[in-house]
Amino acid sequence: MAKKRSTATRSGARPAARPAPNTDHQPDAGSAGPSHKRHWLWSAVRIAVLAAAAATAYIARDSPVLGLSSRADDPPKQPSQNIGFMAQVLQKSRGQNICKPEGFVSDTYSDFDSIEALNHRVARPLDKLVHTKFFRTLKVDLYKPCQFWRTEGSCFQRDCIVQPLDASEVPAAWCAQTIDQNSFGPFLVSTEYTDRDFAVVNDETYGDGVWLDLVENPERFTGYAGAGANAVWMSIYQDNCFGVAPYLQDTAGGWGSQLVNVDGKTMPFVQPPHKRRELTPFLESLAEEDHGVTLPADVPREYRVFYRAVSGLHASVSTHICAEYFNATSNQWEPNLGCFISRIGAFPDRLQNMYFNFVLLTRAIQKMEPYIAAYDYTTGATKDDRAVKRLIPKVLKVVNRAGLMFDDSELFLGPSGRALKAEFKDNFRNISRIMDCTGCEKCRLWGKTQTLGLATALKALFSYPDRAFRGRFTSLDFKRNEVVALITTYFQFSRSLDAIEMFRGMYQNIVTDWRASQASLLPEK
């Protein structure tokens, strides 16, 4: 497929990198002219002001409510690029022309507005596709032991447990392929991955696993939290992201949760301010920017891509949890804006990385288009099989029209490219193993499935040249569960972008309602 630049860029060119905002500059006190006494007084006043500002920032940072409002006399603060991006996403209005640099998604050729527009076109056929028999049925090894630490046990809450499929609900052709490896002894050798794989694949043909209906076991809030959940993400970020992952607090989940701290204490979710002009200062006080959340500018692009993929997955999982959050008071599943602000607002780069992963998956599907179009999706369920034949071309048509939003040919170049790619694969495979350490069955199901989906995208982009996806595909090695995981993960990120727009609407409703309440207090003329 010929590569064409996405029309989202200005004249097809990549947006120039913006220098990090310089917030350390202080106005010159002026040494020429004033007396020594006046210079001393001015320095004392400046020190006092800085001390007061630091104390205020510290209180806002550590307060359980995190300084939700900003005072009118506070000096303006230059927002970071990540926070500027998040504020722009939440404050976007219909018909707004996105032209500020903060709107562009780093390491891509697109901005968030164009990515959302693509999602509007692909979401509906994609939603229908993942509800068909082929794509909703998956075999997953949920009970593989954790290789890295002793787990605390499993979560036995109702919403943590998965509901497996009865054998009669699985297409007979797939069951017939299942082989009991133990009965063949050493004569049947299966491997967890090949040299081309970026994850442990767990082929449906061999070994243990449970057949599951992904639609009947949706990714949403389960109540699984605390030290066990935090350990999974802390291990991923600290031990597998090439040392470039940002500072993390004692929970990788963000501020506010059912059980947010390792000591098990509950913290309330924070709520955004009513005034639009207070949103950026609010996000500044909530975020961990002072600990280096923003990746340094000199980090190699391959490392950035790796971190963005992991961070974007984490953000997407958090977004699904907040979009379908169980309200114990009303006993209803409903969106929780405070949850979204708390889990994503403290780490604003995660928001941008969700958009990045949607672009990454889009590019992988573009590259795999001939292979996906020719794949055999037969299940024996006539209605579903016809639906797949109708929906696959629709999804591929929309995806191909998006143009080149990410150029995979720019990575792993030069004399160190081969070694760097091998390290990249090893670390991502390790992350797929860490998912076995999750104590919640449903969380493990979606962690393993989406990690495999991203790994399949990376495999398509970096393990095969474009020409491999043309002709008879003789060099390709993609298992059925990889194809399912790829499309399912694409849909999961599509859901995340839909949820972002929903949360944006909820935030704007807060602003609108507050303005209406203030207007009602004004005296009648």
Other Cβ atoms within 10 Å of 33 Cβ, number? 7
The C-alpha atoms of residue 99 and residue 109 are separated, in whole angstroms, by 14
* Positive or negative: CA dihedral 481, 484, 490, 491: negative
The dihedrals phi and psi of 212, each to the nearest 5 degrees, come to -135, 155
The C-alpha atoms of residue 321 and residue 87 are separated, in whole angstroms, by 21
Contact (Cβ atoms closer than 8 angstroms) between residue 225 and residue 257: yes
Residues with a known catalytic role: 440, 443
The C-alpha atoms of residue 323 and residue 496 are separated, in whole angstroms, by 9
Contact (Cβ atoms closer than 8 angstroms) between residue 377 and residue 134: yes
Pairing relation of β-strands 137-140 and 210-213? antiparallel
Residue 327: its H or E element: strand 325-327
Assign 3-class secondary structure to 12-62. Answer: CECCCCCCCCCCCCCCCCCCCCCCHHHHHHHHHHHHHHHHHHHHHHHHHHH
Other Cβ atoms within 10 Å of 324 Cβ, number? 17
Strands (E), 88-156: 137-140
The C-alpha atoms of residue 457 and residue 399 are separated, in whole angstroms, by 14
The C-alpha atoms of residue 62 and residue 434 are separated, in whole angstroms, by 31
Tell me whether residue 50 is exposed, middle or buried, using C-beta atoms within 10 angstroms of its C-beta: 0 to 12, 13 to 18, 19 or more. exposed
Spell 203-222 as b/e; 16+ CB within 10 A means b: bbbbbebbbbbbeebebbbb
The C-alpha atoms of residue 192 and residue 200 are separated, in whole angstroms, by 5
Contact (Cβ atoms closer than 8 angstroms) between residue 444 and residue 161: no
Other Cβ atoms within 10 Å of 437 Cβ, number? 21
Instruction: Record the tokens describing residue 382, joined without a space.
Output: 């006539």
Tell me whether residue 31 is exposed, middle or buried, using C-beta atoms within 10 angstroms of its C-beta: 0 to 12, 13 to 18, 19 or more. exposed
The dihedrals phi and psi of 332, each to the nearest 5 degrees, come to -130, 150
The dihedrals phi and psi of 294, each to the nearest 5 degrees, come to -70, 130
